[in-house]
Amino acid sequence: MIKIDYIKADRRYAEKICSLVQSTIRGVYPKYYPKEAVEFFCGLHSLENISRDISDGQVYVLIINGEIIGTGSAKDNHITRVYVLPKYQRMGYGGKIIRKLENLIAQNFDYAVVDASLPAVRMYEHRGYKTIRHESMELQNGAVLVYDIMRKDL
């Protein structure tokens, strides 16, 4: 029997969440982005930033049989940092995290927004999100990071 828990993260989870996020970025993003963008994402989702967001009460974890396999965060109506370990992707766990975050957001807002990386755009589209604009950011060595700002009415 599979035991699934979805809980608000506390400090004891910070390093495990950071490890999950960093390994997922390094395992998936090189297929979509140049190395400068991969490093940008790793810096954005540093232990320091994750710890701050945990202290602010914004971070949640999905635990399967005692193992943290995914995480998601929300600040106001903005969904951030949704990551699922690669071996658990395409099994519905990312959607489960997003549904939980949407339910939380819907208590105070009529819509959710997300800055979607290239590997995540299709997942968000599948969940009913629409791209409202494309963004890009120039990084070191002329590398460019592209992503979509997406929105879903709740």
CATH number assigned to the domain comprising residue 28: 3.40.630.30
**Predicted confidence band of residue 96 (pLDDT cuts 50, 70, 90):** very high
Residue 154: inside a domain: no
**Predicted confidence band of residue 24 (pLDDT cuts 50, 70, 90):** very high
Neighbour tally for 130: CB within 10 Å: 11
> What does pTM read for this prediction?
0.94
Residue 25: inside a domain: yes
User: Helices H, strands E: what count in the chain?
Assistant: 5, 7
Residue 123: inside a domain: no
Residue 120: inside a domain: no
Name, in order, each residue with C-beta under 8 angstroms of 13's C-beta and a sequence gap of 6 or more. 54, 59, 61, 68
What mean pLDDT do residues 39-60 have?
97
Residue 1 has pLDDT above 90, yes or no: no
Cα–Cα distances in Å, from 88 out to 41, 84, 95, 104?
A: 21, 6, 12, 23
Residues 80 and 71: their CA atoms lie apart, in Å, by 10
Residue 85: inside a domain: yes
The amino acid present at 64, given as its one-letter code, is I
What mean pLDDT do residues 96-104 have?
97
Residue 42: inside a domain: yes
Cβ(94)–Cβ(133) under 8 Å? Answer: no
- Quick one: angle between helices 35-44 and 14-28, nearest 10? 170
What mean pLDDT do residues 78-106 have?
96
**pLDDT value at position 78?**
98
**pLDDT value at position 99?**
96
Residue 145: inside a domain: no
**Predicted confidence band of residue 2 (pLDDT cuts 50, 70, 90):** confident
CA 129 remoteness from chain centre = 15
What letter does residue 33 receive in the DSSP assignment? S
At residue 125, the 3 state secondary structure works out as: helix
Q: Which string of DSSP letters, residue by residue, matches 77-105?
A: TEEEEEEE-GGGTTTTHHHHHHHHHHHHH
Length of the chain: 154
**pLDDT value at position 115?**
97
Residue 122: inside a domain: no
Domains in the chain: how many in total?
1
Name, in order, each residue with C-beta under 8 angstroms of 54's C-beta and a sequence gap of 6 or more. 9, 10, 11, 13, 14, 17
Query: Which residue range(s) make up the domain with 95?
Result: 4-110
